[in-house]
Amino acid sequence: MTDRVLILGGRGRIGSSVAQDLLTHTQAEIIVTGRTPAQTEDNTSLQYMVLDLAEVEKLRQAIASVNVVVHCAGPFHFRDANVLKICIEQGVNYVDVSDHRSFTSKALQYHEEAIAAGVTAIVNTGIFPGISNSMVRHDVEQFDVPEKIHLSYLVSGSGGAGITVMRTTFLGLQNPFEAWIDGRWQTVKPYSEREAVDFPSPYGRSGVYWFDMPETFTLPHAFPAVKTVITKFGSVPDFYNHLTWIAANVFPKSWIKNPNGVEFLSHVSHTMTDFTDKFTGIGVAVRSEVTGQKNGQPAIYLSNLTYENTATSAGCGTGSIVQFLLEDKLNKPGVWPVEEALSTDLFIQAMQSRGITIDSNWIVNKYSSEQGTGNS
């Protein structure tokens, strides 16, 4: 029988990228959903379904008819875990592109139920979180004792994504969050502590800022020997960073916490990036830097990824997870962040098959030269 995959929110930029990846790398039937009818249905490889997540009975019937559900209907800041709950009830594997700790925390509460149902549920797939988490796993595995993880993300303009991603950015500025620093949880302000980080060409040295991501708390759980996990994000061109910093630190908090304020800022930002995308492109860079002990000596292992289209790379990350589920190469009942579910061997296989190159190398001397300065 032909495998069937249901992509909730599949007509958005990220959902469409996931669908395209699955059309390329699997033989599955793809059903994509949206809240309104599709304007064109000229792709005979896709089936379209009008579905609102609030239509619980229709949602349940749709889930029961497929092998894997891919939840792309963000933003996830205010989503409940009802889709995951129904998947567990129906015995259907689940993948999502969630990118906020509040949702991840809700999803992880269903871990035991998923195990009992034999359902593999993987959250936080995509590019960051997602591919970035697997880069960290690969890097951590190089050490005898990993001590510190520093993840930096950079996106050009809109990244090829829709307005939902803009909403996600501004929603992420609303509240301070807890980060694992020096072996204890410490409160961090979003879009604070700018740091200049060296990315590969064409980006070079660029500014990044603290940003609340699920991996800020899932990575310490996955790798308990690590004492510090830093997650920082930046935009190209750099003036977007300064505008976002102003939104986080100067605007009255009532603006950022008001849904109308978030909508206004999101639409303004989307209009601006529509213009600047022509000059900056819509690419992404991910930089994973892990420090620790190797053969009794301090060392750093560095991995870099660049890709010309952020949304497409997210589709690759999520699509590869779904592919491995369909092929039964990934079978791990429970609810897992991607770094605890996907082996490094499968991750490397996925990246190679999709033409995504990750450059990795040891940096031995840098650690000793900066030790004691607090720099990364």
Which segments of the chain belong to CATH 3.40.50.720? 4-126+311-353
Superfamily of domain 128-310+357-370: Dihydrodipicolinate Reductase; domain 2 (3.30.360.10)
CATH number at 4-126+311-353: 3.40.50.720
Give CB contacts under 8 A, 24+ apart, made by 187-190: 189/248, 189/249, 190/248
pLDDT band at 205 (very low <50, low <70, confident <90, very high): very high
Question: Is the pTM of the predicted complex or chain greater than 0.85?
Answer: yes
Structure-token pair, residue 336: 């897992």
Q: Which of 45, 121, 176 is nearest to 331 (CA)?
A: 121
Beta bridge partners of 309: 282
| Of 75, 26, 21, the residue nearest 309 (C-alpha) | 21
DSSP string for 342-375 = S-HHHHHHHHHHTT--EEEEEE-HHHHHHTTTT-
Confidence of residue 74 (pLDDT cuts 50, 70, 90): confident
Q: Do the bridges between strand 297-307 and strand 284-294 make them parallel or antiparallel, or are there none, so unpaired?
A: antiparallel
What tens digit of pLDDT does each residue of 109-133 get?
A: 999 999 999 999 999 999 999 999 9
- The CATH 3.30.360.10 portion of the chain extends over 128-310+357-370
Q: What is the number of H-type helices and E-type strands within the chain? A: 15, 16
Q: What radius of gyration do the chain's Cα atoms show?
A: 20
pLDDT digits 0-9 by tens, 225-267: 999 999 999 999 887 877 877 777 766 667 666 777 767 666 7
Helix (H) or strand (E) holding 265: helix 259-280
- Classify 158 as helix, strand or coil: coil
